[in-house]
Amino acid sequence: MFKKLLLILIMVTFAASAFAVKNKNSIQVKGSDTMVNLGQAWAEKYMEINAGDFAAVTGGGSGTGLSSLISGTCDIAMSSRNIKEKEIALAKQKGIDPNEIKVALDGLAVIVNPDNPISKLTLAQLADIFTGRVTNWKEIGGKDEKIVVLSREVNSGTHVYFKEHVLRKNDSNSKEEFAPTALMLSSSQAIADEVAGNPSAIGYYGMGYVSKKQKALAIAKDGKLEYESPIIENVINGKYPISRPLFLYTNGVPGGLVKKFVDFILSKEGQNIVLATDFVPVK
């Protein structure tokens, strides 16, 4: 009796999983951790309007999303960086044609503990801190404490963007790297938690993650320019120096359900959600 029950249970599970794969009304969205909250907000509103459609949003990092798109396990990849040449080549090999859609802008906030007296830095000082040339807060006018540098893991688009635009100052010949002593944390939330509890820590992430437990620094391109805070107006008018576009990647020009979802994102309603989740709309 028990065996029979078990058998039926197993068969039902298999049938259900087969059915889930075939369900045409669902799309899988995967990628950038920075964009997970945004993606989920989009999906919720979208499913509210289009009852019966289903969009599942998961994180994991831009690289994770793009490699899922390439291997065909998701329909839309969210990415906080441009797709790499290597990834395009690999996608072509597998018969996937990555199509880029710019959906929002994001200011990268550099955050410290609210107890830290430092409240503004230049890009050059940031580069010094994150590459490990400056290791004590007193060297840049703070307390006599060792700087604990926090970074995202290498699978994060934020990590790559910060390295290319802050550490290497957009110079493709530059060989600057994150200091080997930098702690690599696996999510933006982990960085937020560590900064909230550690007065000597410094980290970076999308400005949507900043809360009262962290202090976002004002950043200047160089000593002569004004220090600007990571707020929405400063990202739109381009004054805040560390901001970047956020992308969706689809396989070819989107059609069917994917197109419906992307159109919704680019609609006024979708872009209002962008604003509501502390990102900057593109339209």
Partner 1 sequence: MRKLKELIIEKVILICGLASIFFVVLIFLFLLKEGLAVFKIVSPFKFLFGKSWYPISEPPQLGILPLVLGSLLVTVGAVIISIPIGVGCAIYIAEIAPLKIKEALKTGIELLTAIPSVVLGFIGMVTLVPLAKNIFHIPTGLTALSGSIMLAFMAMPTIVSIAEDALYSVPKTYKEGALALGATHWQAIWRVMLPAASSGILAAVMLGIGRVIGETMAVMMITGNAAVIPSSILAPVRTLTATIAAEMGEAVVGSEHYFALFAIGIVLFVISFAINVTADLFLHKRQ
Residues near partner 1 (CB under 8 A) = 60-61, 63-64, 67, 70-71, 84, 86-87, 90, 145-148, 153-155, 160, 175, 177, 180-186, 190, 193-194, 197-198, 200-201
For the bound state, the minimum distance from the C-beta of residue 148 to partner 1, rounded and expressed in Å, comes to: 5
Q: Which is nearer to partner 1, 195 or 273 (CB)?
A: 195
For the bound state, the minimum distance from the C-beta of residue 135 to partner 1, rounded and expressed in Å, comes to: 10
31 torsion bin: left (phi>0), alpha (psi -120 to 50), beta (else):
left
Q: Which is nearer to partner 1, 175 or 268 (CB)?
A: 175
117: amino acid identity, one letter: P
For the bound state, the minimum distance from the C-beta of residue 119 to partner 1, rounded and expressed in Å, comes to: 20
The answer to whether residues 230 and 210 touch, using CB atoms and an 8 Å cutoff, is yes
**Count of CB atoms within 10 A of residue 87's CB?**
20
Q: Which is nearer to partner 1, 179 or 265 (CB)?
A: 179
Q: Which is nearer to partner 1, 61 or 254 (CB)?
A: 61
Q: Directed axis angle between helix 36-49 and helix 256-266, to 10°? A: 110
For the bound state, the minimum distance from the C-beta of residue 70 to partner 1, rounded and expressed in Å, comes to: 8
Q: What residues form DSSP beta bridges with 104? A: 246, 281
In whole angstroms, what is the distance from residue 278 CA to residue 13 CA? Answer: 40
> 102 φ, ψ to 5°?
-80, 125
For the bound state, the minimum distance from the C-beta of residue 161 to partner 1, rounded and expressed in Å, comes to: 13
Q: Which is nearer to partner 1, 59 or 230 (CB)?
A: 59
Q: Which is nearer to partner 1, 81 or 240 (CB)?
A: 81
The answer to whether residues 140 and 121 touch, using CB atoms and an 8 Å cutoff, is yes
Angle subtended at Cα 151 by Cα 230 and Cα 227, rounded to the nearest 5 degrees: 25
For the bound state, the minimum distance from the C-beta of residue 184 to partner 1, rounded and expressed in Å, comes to: 4
Q: Which is nearer to partner 1, 13 or 181 (CB)?
A: 181
For the bound state, the minimum distance from the C-beta of residue 236 to partner 1, rounded and expressed in Å, comes to: 31
Torsion angle in degrees (nearest 10) through CA of 266, 268, 269, 273: 70
Q: How far lies 86's CA from each of 66, 67, 90, 231, in Å? A: 11, 11, 6, 34
